[in-house]
Every structure is written in C-alpha cells, then in structure tokens.
Structure 1
Amino acid sequence: MAQPFRVVVIGGVAAGPKIAAKVARLRPDAEVTLIEKGERLSYAGCGLAYYIADMVREQQSLMTTPAGVVRDVAFFQNVKNVKVLSRTEALEIDRGAKRVLVKSSTDGSQRWIEYDKLALATGARPVVPPIPGVGLANVFTLKTIEEADRIKEFIAANPHCKMVIVGGGLIGVEMAEALVGRKLEVTLVEMLPHILAPLDTEMALLVEKHMRANEVELLTNTWVEAFDGADQVEYVVTSQERIATDAVVLAVGVRPQIELAKAAGIEIGSTGAIRVDEHMRTSDPDIYAAGDCVETINLVSGRPVYAPLGSTANKQGRVAAIAICGGDERFPGVLCSAIVKVFDFNAGWTGLSESAARELGYEVAAGLVPAPDRSDYYPGKRMVMLKLIAEGATGRLLGAQAIGPGETAKRLDVAVTAISAGMTADQVSKLDLCYAPPYSAAMDSIITAANVIRNKIAGQMNGVSSIELGRRLDRGEDIVVLDVRSPAEYESGHLEGAINIPLGALRKRCGELPRDRKIVAY
C-alpha cells in the first residue's frame, strides 16, 4: 500500500489552520497533522482588545465559525480531516530525516513525526523590553486568550484601577479605548514623537487629540525607564515623570518566533523573520512558512518588511497550502495596510507615508482633503481627512492615510487597489466609483485628492503641510498666513498673525494681500 502524502503544520492560530485545512481539501488522501503548543485553536487574536472591553462577551465567539461552530480539535478532525495535536510543542526539526520531535505537555512524552512537507506557522510573541521591574506582578502583555483573561480578571477584581499602556501602536491604541470603556483611568506612554508610527505627523496628531478628548492621558516623546513596586507594579518611571499605577500593559510590538527554524538551519531574513519566496517556501524546499514568523516584500519599495497581521497570515497560509500541493500559487507582498477604531474615529493607512517616501528618495506630491463621507446635504454625514501620497515625477500612487469619524476603510481600500495596480493620480481621478448621496459625494474625496496631486504636478499650485508651515514660521520666514474660513471659525481659534479673508470674499478682496511675499492659505 502506498504511503500517504504526509504534511505536518506547526502552529495552530492563524496561518497554520489555514494551511492544514486547505491542504486537506486539495489532497483528501493526505495525512495532515496540525501541532499546537496551546490548548485553543484558530482563535481571533485581533479581537482580544474587544473581548477585554466586553464588546465581545463570550470567549468562545473568538473561536467560532460564521455558522456558529467552535473551531476545536473535534471540528478540525471531523470537518476538515486534519489530525490535531494540541498541548504539544515542537522541539526540533531533523531536516535530513524529514521529521519533527514533539513533546506532549499533558504527559511529558516525546516522539518523532515524519513529514514529506513541513509548514511553519509559529507566529510571534510580544516584545518584553529589558526594563528594570518588568517582571513585577500586574505587568501584562496581550497576544493570547490566556493573557486577555488575566487582564479581564484583574479588572474584575480592581474595577476602579489606574492602568498604564506602554506603546502607541495598534494594540496600545485599541487597549486604551477598551480600558476607558471599562471606566478605568488610562495613561498611554509612547517613546516616538507621535502614536501610530506609520501615519504622517499631521494625521497622527488628529488621532491624539481625539484620544485626549476621550480621557486618555497621552505622553509622547516619553520612554519608560523602570517599573517600581514591592511585589507588584506601583509606579511607571518615565523620562518625564513618575506615574502611579495599578497595572501595566506592554504593547511595544511583537517579535517573530524563529527559534525552531533557526536551530534547523533555515535562512532568516534581514528583518529577523524567516525568509521565504513567493510560494512561501523557505531555504529548505520541503519546508514552508507563513504568518507572523515570516518576512515579506513591501510592494511599493520592493524591500523586505515584517508585517504581522492576521489578514496577511491567512492569505499566506492559503498560498503555502496550494504550493505544498504542487500548485503555482504566489504571494507577491504587502502594502502594510492597517486600520484601527479609536473611540469615534477610524484611522488607517496603506503603502508609504509621505515621510517614509521622502526617506527612500522619492520626489513626493501629496493631496490632503477634508471632506464628508457622503453628500453634504444627506443626513448623518461624517468627516474624513484623506491624504494621498504620489510620486512627483509620474503621479504613481505610493500611499494613503485616512482619519476621522466617517467611512475611511472604503477610501483606503480603493487606494490599496490603485497602488497594487500601479495606478497614477490621473487614473484614480477618473475611476468610476459607485455613487449615491447616502454613500459618497458626486466627486468622492479620493478623486478630489487625486486631482489635488495632479494640480501640484502640473505646477498649478504648491502645498505645504501644517507641520512644515509651523517649522518655517518658527524659523522666522517671511510668510503671510491667509485664513479663508468664516469669521466665526477664525474667532474660535487661529494661527497668530493670520489674515482672515473668507473664501467667498477672497476674489473681491485679494488686492489686500501683498504681491511680494509668500502666501500660505488654509
């Protein structure tokens, strides 16, 4: 009797279950074994902050299919035809003999499992910086359901506590909203000049202002020097101040779990994650890898990038499975697209920021457009600040960012498609987007932003960011600042020394402006 096609998958959260299930579908004759160190399988790690916030009430919801079936061992074995070894750790890969040494945490037994093809989906672990006191009680990380449960249990026992979040990335920002929603006193500490590092400064500042308005104490340009306390954390010592707290959530990023691959001699890429080709194949032709343990390619810059996201992991898992079964499936790379809910705001980005593009040597033209997300006369309209970034010489789109209470994901997804297709601002400006007053303006803001870029490239207008204008004014440059808002808006707050001529009166009053000085209008 012929030996079955043996596929072993290590890692059972995102990419691993996707690989295992897809291989089993493509090759019903295959013997597919999924190895998971923990007890839970295929859970939605991206939903943990919402679980802590009690927006997701039941833990089981994070492990349930849209049809309401729990993705447990029985589900994978009976529905997906995948043999699952949960509570089992992979200790060693013997590439020569094509086998994996595993250890059961239930009884401590060890055994070798042979494979024809091996897939690594070992994921990532939270970064725990070597800060004095980091081992004190009530200093939490958040990557697993077990960690989320510990945070929830602490909050239940201390319903009026103070908590400090270290890190202003996606997890840190999500946790800030979650904890404020639980009526806790929250401080977020970020060592960089602004939160959500992929955003340009003027966009990130909008999010920061909104977070402060929602009772988050936000400290940027501030780094943590120590955690202080007897047995449990009582103070966070920062470069600026000493903050009293009852608990800390570390959210300073994740690191790929590559130890197993590295020990087996598999090539590690320049980002510190496993290097793979378009087929998700490692340096060993019989070993594949996908998800948070691998690096990929930035589709704009062409450079290696580490982009640990659940959406990416699932797509890579599918590609790896098809390739394992002999198909010519390829994963081209990512734009590092992301979006996050921040109280009543939505904040997202894709591709390169303006600052990143300039650092890479691009000549940049950017279009920044504040506009409602539907026709301005339609009830329920909400504002979106949209920024498009393009290559100045060609108009090719490089990136996009969108912030505000309005529908940002729609505009960003259009930008993702346009960037992936190599489209220019001119092409984007003529896209036949769906239109009706409840959904967008007749000229959607992404089309308007593309036209702003076109005007700049054509030399019809120049632009300067609010951040750059501030720098120039601080340097004492001779600039006339023209505020074209209404008098009421002007009186509510304006730049010092700005001249107020409402836009509707500007044509008649433009003679009041000097012709021999640089004018910046806003």
Structure 2
Amino acid sequence: MERKKVVIIGGVACGAKTASRLARIAPGYDITILERGEHLSFAGCGFPYFIGDVVKEYKDLVCTPLGIIRDVNFFRTVKNIHVRTNCLATRIDREKKCVIASDSDSSTGSEKVFPYDELVLATGASSIRPPIPGVDLNHVFTLWTMPDALAMKSALASGSIKSAVIIGAGLIGMEVVEALTERGVKVSVVDFLPTPLPALVGEDFGLRVTKAVKTKGVDFYGGEKVTEIIGEGGVVTSVKTDRRTLDADMVLLAVGIRPNTALAKEAGLELAPNGTLIVDDHLRTSDPSIYAGGDCVMSKNLITGKPAWQPMGSTANRQGRVIADNIAGLSTKFPGVLGTGILKLFNLTIGKTGLNEAQAREAGFDPVSIVVEEADRPHFMPGMGGMTIRLVADRPSRRLLGAQIMGTGVVDKRLDSLVSAITCGMTVDLLADSDFAYAPPFSTALDPNTHAANALRNKMDGLIKCYQAKELKERMDQPDAPLLLDVRSPGELDVQGRLPYEFVNIPLGKLRERVNELPKDREIVTFCKISVRGWDAVAAMRSAGYENIALLEGGVMSWPYELK
C-alpha cells in the first residue's frame, strides 16, 4: 500500500509541531517539510532575551531541552521527517495536488514538484516595514526571523550602539525595551497610540507602564507619528516624528505583522478580510485536502464565537497538534482562543485574557468590572509583591469575560487560573468560592483572584458604589464634583502622594469620632493606599447616617495620573 504523502509548507512552530505529532501517531506516513529559511523549529518568542544576552547562543533557541539541534538531520534520524530548508514554495496546484518549489537562495530558477495527499500551510507572518523615508538604512531592524535576531545582536556586539528608537509599543517592542536597556542602550519608544501595550491593557494600566519604564531611563512618546528615519553614510542617526527628533544608532520596527498568505490566495483558497486563511474547527481550509494553522490563519474567539486573529507561538503549537490529529483520522477540533497574552517588563509582569469592557459591550454583553490592588503573599513573607487586577463579568449572567493583571508579584499563576475559569464559563461567584492552594510562601489566605471576585460581587450586588480612576477623574471635572475623603495617615500622604483635587484627610482610626465634620449633602468618595480602609470608611459613614458615598477602586496605587 502506498504511504500517504503529507507536505507541510513552513517549518517553525505550527509546521514543526504538525510534523512531529503526525510522525508519532501515524509513523507510516511520508512527511515532508518545505522551509524557505535555514533554521527550523526556532523559539522566536525568545528573540528579545537573545538580544538582551539572557540567552547567550542562538543555538539555544533551536535545540531540544537536551541540547540537540533541531536541524534537517535531527528531523530525519529521530522523527523520520524529510525536511528541505532554503526551499521556497512558489505555487500550489490543487487539481494535481502538488506543490512547486525552488531553492530560495538560488537564482537558477530550477523547480521541484512535491505531490501531496494532504497539504498543510504553516506559512506564518512577516514583519511590516512601513513606507517611512529611510526605512532601508543600515541598523534599521525588524525582529521576526532568526536572521533578524542575529543581525541585531551582531550590531549590539560591535559596541557602537548607544541609543535606540523602537517604533511600536506592542509586545515585541516593549520586550526589546528591557533587552536594550539592560545592555546600557538609551531607549526611546514612539507609538501612534497614547499609551503602550494597547492590545494588552487599557489606558490606565498603560499610563502606569509609562511611569514604570521612565524610572529605568526609557522615554515613551505616545500619540506621535514617525515621519522619517534619518541617516548618514547609509547608517541611521536619528528618527523624526511630527513633534521631535530622537537620536538613534539603531531602530527597531515593531509596528505589527501581516500573514503570509499570497501563496494561498493565488491557489484560490478563501481568505478573511485581514488576509488570513479561513479554516473550520478542524483547521481545514476551503479545500478539504489543505489544512492551515499558526500566524496565517483566522481563529475564533471562545467567548464571542467571532473571528479572532491571535498570532502567538502557543496558538500555533496547539493548532499543529489538531492538524496532525485530523490528518491521521482523529476528529479533533480547535475550540478557539481567548486573546491571552503576557509580558515581562523589568520587574513588572503584565497580562490579559478574554474581553475588556469595550470589547464585551461590542459583543452584546452588559459588562461590569472592578479594579483591586492585592499582595501575592502575606506581608510577613520575604519577596512579597503586589498586583493590580481588573476583572470583567457580564452583569445579568455573572459570567466571567476577561481580566487584566499587572504587578511585581506572581501574576502568571493568577492569569492562568483566570484563563481556565473563563474557558470553562465560570461565574464570578464560582471564582470567589474556588478552592485555591494556600500556604504563606505561595499566597494570602484568600487568593488575590478570590479578593477580586468578592469585590466584583459586592459591586454587582449593589453593596457599594465604586469609581475606577478614569471615572473619578471625569467625575471631578463636573460642577457637582464629590468631596474626596483620604483615610490614610498624614505620613502616608507625604510618601505615596496626594490626588490633585480638593480632599479631606481623616485617618481611618479617627473617622468615627470626626465623621460629623463631613457634609451630608455632597457625594463623598473614600480611599486609602489600596482602598481596603476606604471600604471600612464607607461602613463607618453609613453607620453615622451618610448615604451618598462611593469608593475609589484600588486607591492611590491604582491612580495612573499625576499626584501632588
């Protein structure tokens, strides 16, 4: 019996995963990978750490945990997979079921034909090089492929790079901020949007990120457009925006990526409006003999059921497994994505999953959210860190819809537990009653997610009126602005700062005896450092007959604007 032929175009995340899984569950298949580059199955998400010299050798990004390089020989001898590197697929003949390819590093034009029974498109995506004057100067980089990473690290190794401008404040751009800063490079970041990481967190978190990187000597210029990259002798020297000129011995273009689907389009496969391939739940394209996965395909949002593009290495690997299963005859489905992302930025961890309030509202939900400040461990444990959690739920169903978390504490485990909760359709009440692990080295007695869920329940149940920072800022600009009641000690005000509005400072321990100093005909908003004492202040005032009271969520710690 003739062996089934499977051809995979692309040998990085999705392609390599598809081939490896298929070789295990269908060892009789003839599997061939066509990779246009030289390197296979490399960890592209590790590039910023390679640039920052945390990862010393590029080989560490292309080897197994045992140190074996994942090259052509490895795939052939260990997995019985045939790999052609530097092999560019140029055309798909769907009628004859074959792929036509040529050597990508050759100008001979010689072609080879690869017949297939099943074809997998794992063609990935490419960095966008915007049409800015000077974009082709030396030392203007993108960071998406291994040659990109090698070239950028080589430039840094020369010792000539003293300043750098990063154009784009998304995940890749901000990861490289830390890498370059730790190597002694003066870094400036420019983005057309006002705050960094707009796809990950909201404006309030973004403003706090801006403050955090400034303490590391990084300048962020939001709301500015790059108009020109200036050079001398063919090498970049500065970057011009619509407001200023910034010195730059190096420029990183991190403005986004686009899917590599020209081959698929030419073959007549169905594409989404953004150019990604449309696939079904089994990751089949509009041609049932052709599968696709990774950065070149459109996925589905688990909450809304609507199309969602999530170009992540984690998604690509998950999809590779699903594709392999279906080719082998296992009816496995890819359920979708939540838009989960996470970033290490100096001592901060920043992450999100699911929908923010605007996305939830657009999807037809009635969202309500809460912002809380929590410690990851008890105050008496060494290494205790803090975090800010924004939790989003649907008001009528109480179903969890999303979360954003940022802080110096152990954020990743809280984010991952929320991913599980949202994936399973949990309500805020079930999250509040989840039996999280507790011991002082790992958590407070009530986990930060428990606190966040309980706070959101209080808000949803009408037990307390709350303002988030942006809401209070807008409220303070109105004619009938509330009176702010700060229940911190005077010493805390000097250290932590004051909100830039009219306020009364009565420490919580003195509030019950001095509560009559406060007006009853005006809304009063209470707060402290994180607003736990602010909640106690609400109770004290209610017991004294005050009714028009609200709480500033997260207290001064969650205030992203300037303080006095």
In the superposition, the TM-score normalised over structure 1's length comes to 0.97
- 1:199: which partner in 2? 201
- 2:373: which partner in 1? 370
- 1:115: which partner in 2? 116
Contact 2:155 2:161 in 1 (8 A): no
How far apart are residue 209 of structure 1 and its match? 1.2
Q: 1:511 aligns with which of 499, 510, 516?
A: 516
CA–CA distance in structure 2, aligned partners of residues 295 and 422 of structure 1: 23
Matched AA of 1:513: L
CA–CA distance in structure 1, aligned partners of residues 508 and 362 of structure 2: 35
Contact 1:485 1:502 in 2 (8 A): yes
Contact 1:388 1:449 in 2 (8 A): yes
CA–CA distance in structure 2, aligned partners of residues 74 and 244 of structure 1: 45
The answer to whether the aligner puts 1:494 opposite 2:498 as a matched pair is yes
Contact 2:123 2:295 in 1 (8 A): yes
- 2:127: which partner in 1? 126
Matched AA of 1:456: K
Q: 1:521 aligns with which of 510, 518, 526?
A: 526
- 1:33: which partner in 2? 32
CA–CA distance in structure 1, aligned partners of residues 118 and 52 of structure 2: 41
How far apart are residue 270 of structure 1 and its match? 3.2
CA–CA distance in structure 1, aligned partners of residues 21 and 128 of structure 2: 31
How far apart are residue 159 of structure 1 and its match? 4.1
Contact 2:173 2:254 in 1 (8 A): yes
Q: List aligned pairs for 1:119-158, cutoff 5 A.
A: 119-158=120-159
Q: 2:464 aligns with which of 453, 461, 468?
A: 461
- 1:350: which partner in 2? 353
How far apart are residue 352 of structure 1 and its match? 1.0
| Alpha-carbon distance change, 410 to 508 in structure 1, aligned in 2, over 3 angstroms | farther
How far apart are residue 133 of structure 1 and its match? 1.9
How far apart are residue 507 of structure 1 and its match? 3.7
Matched AA of 1:204: G
* CA displacement, residues 114-172 of structure 1 (integer Å, 9 cap, x when unaligned): 00000000001001111222122221100011111111111122345211000111101
CA–CA distance in structure 1, aligned partners of residues 327 and 20 of structure 2: 12
Matched AA of 2:505: N
Q: Number of paired residues?
A: 521
| Alpha-carbon distance change, 474 to 87 in structure 1, aligned in 2, over 3 angstroms | same
Matched AA of 1:255: R
Contact 1:207 1:347 in 2 (8 A): no
- 1:248: which partner in 2? 251
How far apart are residue 361 of structure 1 and its match? 4.3
Matched AA of 1:196: L
Three-state SS of the structure 2 residue aligned to 1:225 is strand
Matched AA of 1:387: R
CA–CA distance in structure 1, aligned partners of residues 248 and 97 of structure 2: 51
Contact 1:202 1:465 in 2 (8 A): no
Contact 1:392 1:457 in 2 (8 A): yes
CA–CA distance in structure 2, aligned partners of residues 450 and 219 of structure 1: 35
CA–CA distance in structure 2, aligned partners of residues 12 and 508 of structure 1: 71
- 2:214: which partner in 1? 212
Contact 2:370 2:468 in 1 (8 A): no
How far apart are residue 228 of structure 1 and its match? 2.0
Contact 1:348 1:409 in 2 (8 A): yes
How far apart are residue 394 of structure 1 and its match? 2.1
- 1:92: which partner in 2? 91
CA–CA distance in structure 1, aligned partners of residues 209 and 284 of structure 2: 39
Three-state SS of the structure 1 residue aligned to 2:175 is helix
How far apart are residue 205 of structure 1 and its match? 1.9
Three-state SS of the structure 2 residue aligned to 1:146 is helix
- 1:404: which partner in 2? 407
| Alpha-carbon distance change, 355 to 465 in structure 1, aligned in 2, over 3 angstroms | farther
| Alpha-carbon distance change, 6 to 333 in structure 1, aligned in 2, over 3 angstroms | same
- 1:425: which partner in 2? 428
* CA displacement, residues 314-358 of structure 1 (integer Å, 9 cap, x when unaligned): 000000110111111111110111111000111111011233323
- 1:304: which partner in 2? 307
Matched AA of 1:336: G
Contact 2:163 2:185 in 1 (8 A): yes
Q: List aligned pairs for 1:255-334, cutoff 5 A.
A: 255-334=258-337
- 1:20: which partner in 2? 19
In the superposition, the TM-score normalised over structure 2's length comes to 0.90
Three-state SS of the structure 2 residue aligned to 1:208 is helix
How far apart are residue 103 of structure 1 and its match? 0.4
* CA displacement, residues 384-415 of structure 1 (integer Å, 9 cap, x when unaligned): 11111111222211111111111000111111
How far apart are residue 362 of structure 1 and its match? 3.0
